[in-house]
Amino acid sequence: MKSYEVNFDGLVGPTHNYGGLSYGNVASQSNSQQSSNPKEAALQGLAKMKALMDMGFQQGVLAPQERPDVAALRRLGFSGTDAQVIERAAKEAMPLLVASCSASSMWVANAATVSPSADTADSRVHFTAANLNCKYHRSIEHPTTSHVLGAMFANQQHFAHHAALPAVAQFGDEGAANHTRFCREYGEAGVEFFVFGRSAFDNRFPAPQKYPARQTLEASQAVARLHGLRDEGVVYAQQNPNVIDQGVFHNDVIAVGNGEVLFYHEDAFLETDKMLAELQGKLAKVGGNFQSVCVPRSAVTVDDAVRSYLFNSQLLSRADGSMLLIVPQECQANERVWAYLQSLTSSGGLIREVKVFDLKQSMQNGGGPACLRLRVALNETELAAVNPGVIMTAPLYGSLTAWVEKHYRDRLSETDLADPQLLLECRTALDELTQILKLGAVYPFQIN
């Protein structure tokens, strides 16, 4: 049976802004308080989805969330009408209003961890929504994420959904940003690779000194158990704490994998040789030939990687078996990174082509091409069971572009977040979106 990697991209929400909310994420901190352009952000994301679809890849779309999250503000003690809640939060606790307005759900690599049916005990595709509990503004995403994923992958015969892990730091889970799957064919059993930043219960593992390690070993292990993965099909590795302290807040800022290939920076992991040997051995047991491409620090520094987002690229398999790398334009702007990419594609290796995308609006908050997509490997039968409303087509691209043009502002600054009108605009837009994507009622304002 045919199988595919389907990329579901997060649609940027109408409140996209630069709140400076993510300590440890260099771009988020350095662009704090700049005014944003939500319309441009959403159109840049849609252009990437359209381009991948036009290249023949399977592409889907994941809806944004209701923001400002008035219910979250009510849980923090703000009361009255929705407009009063927003006004009071703006007056008394602006940082909480900013957090409740974040459009951060666009980075759907953090929405969930997904295990394809070929890896799981019950042969269903498993999803665990990420608790994202390292940052308040992201910790409020998972309930709606679960509703949206449930509406997209509704068939219980093929899809199993797990609630987010307990919302405490010991089980900090950032979803697929720290999870990669290696396989020969997407529909065959593979090896799932979980990268953690620290252990919550075992102090033999070193931890970063400056910035938080968002993913714990214990969270990754819990997800593997929930999904019914075999020990032989799982490899755990620790991210190098020194690179976390240099701004590598997720593994997908320093490594990316696809098929049988891991593309990574020399400083990405601890005990790299042991990890590579385990990946090689376990993939061989399911008939795969593991290959790795290490980018030496002499060619690209960790700082270059953090600024250019070289590794936050999408590594895609083409029909002829070669690979294509989708990179943000910041890679072209960095001389060393661009020179490295030229030498990589002309070296006769597997990665033959690089395509550059302008995702500046998202990049300024630390979200590159790979952050914007959630990969779901599906066989033909499973793909047919996905809600067809969320699969990208030329008409859907047209409808979504028109929808963005109609509802989105082209400028948003912190003071605009205090405008209760923004909530109404957002709800009106999302109500229409659920009809376009045929999602049914998934938002708090539609359910309650």
Catalytic residues: 174, 250, 371
Least distance between ligand SUG and beta carbon 170 (Å): 19
Minimum distance, C-beta of residue 28 to ligand SUG, in the bound complex (Å): 4
Nearer to ligand SUG (CB atom), residue 139 or residue 381: 139
Is 5:116 a contact under the CB 8 Å cutoff? no
* Rg value, the chain, Cα: 21
The nearer residue to ligand SUG, 8 or 18, going by C-beta atoms, is: 18
CB 300 to ligand SUG: min, Å: 18
Closest to 125 (Cα-Cα) out of 378, 375, 386: 378
Residue 220, number of CB atoms within 10 A of its CB: 25
Nearest CA among 345, 179, 350, 180 for reference residue 257: 180
Closer residue to ligand SUG, CB minimum distance, 83 or 169: 169
d(CA 19, CA 101): 9
Closest CA to 65 of 4, 159, 139, 153: 139
Residue 399 neighbours by CB distance under 10 Å: 16
**Which token pair is 180?**
């990669």
Q: How far is the CB of 309 from ligand SUG (least distance, A)?
A: 9
In angstroms, what CA-CA distances link 194 with 239, 361, 420? 10, 29, 41
Contact yes or no for 39/47 (Cβ under 8 A): no
| Encoded tokens for 352 | 């033959």
Q: Whose Cβ is closer to ligand SUG: residue 259's or residue 367's?
A: 367
Rounded Cα distance between 259 and 368, Å, is 21
Of the candidates 42, 40, 22, 39, the one whose C-alpha atom is nearest the C-alpha of residue 31 is 22
Which of 256, 430 has the CB closer to ligand SUG?
Answer: 256
Q: What angle do CA 7, 166, 103 make, to 5 degrees?
A: 45
Q: Which residue has the tokens 């260099």?
A: 26
β-bridge pairing 179-182 and 191-196: antiparallel
Cβ 112 to ligand SUG shortest distance, Å? 12
DSSP-derived letter for residue 4 is E
Strands 3-10 and 59-62: parallel
Interatomic CA distance for residues 30 and 414, integer angstroms: 15
Count of CA atoms in the C-beta half-sphere (13 A) of 229: 28
User: For ligand SUG, which is the closer residue by CB, 109 or 423?
Assistant: 109
Q: Alpha carbon of 133 to those of 73, 182, 224, 368: distances in Å?
A: 17, 27, 19, 21
Q: Which is nearer to ligand SUG, 190 or 367 (CB)?
A: 367
Torsion from C-alpha of 227, 230, 231, 232, nearest 10 degrees: -140
Which residues is 265 bridged to in the sheet?
295
- For residue 249, the minimal CB distance to ligand SUG (Å) is 6
**Where along the sequence are the contacts to ligand SUG (CB under 6 A)?**
18-22, 25, 28, 102, 104, 107, 109-110, 138, 177, 249-250, 252-253, 365-367, 371
Token pair for residue 11? 């649609």
> In angstroms, what is the minimal distance from the CB of 82 to ligand SUG?
22
Q: Which is nearer to ligand SUG, 219 or 383 (CB)?
A: 219
CB of 420 vs ligand SUG, minimal distance in Å: 20
User: Any idea which residue has 């023949």 for tokens?
Assistant: 56
**Toward ligand SUG, which CB reaches closer, 12 or 396?**
12
Nearest distance from residue 110's CB to ligand SUG, in Å? 5
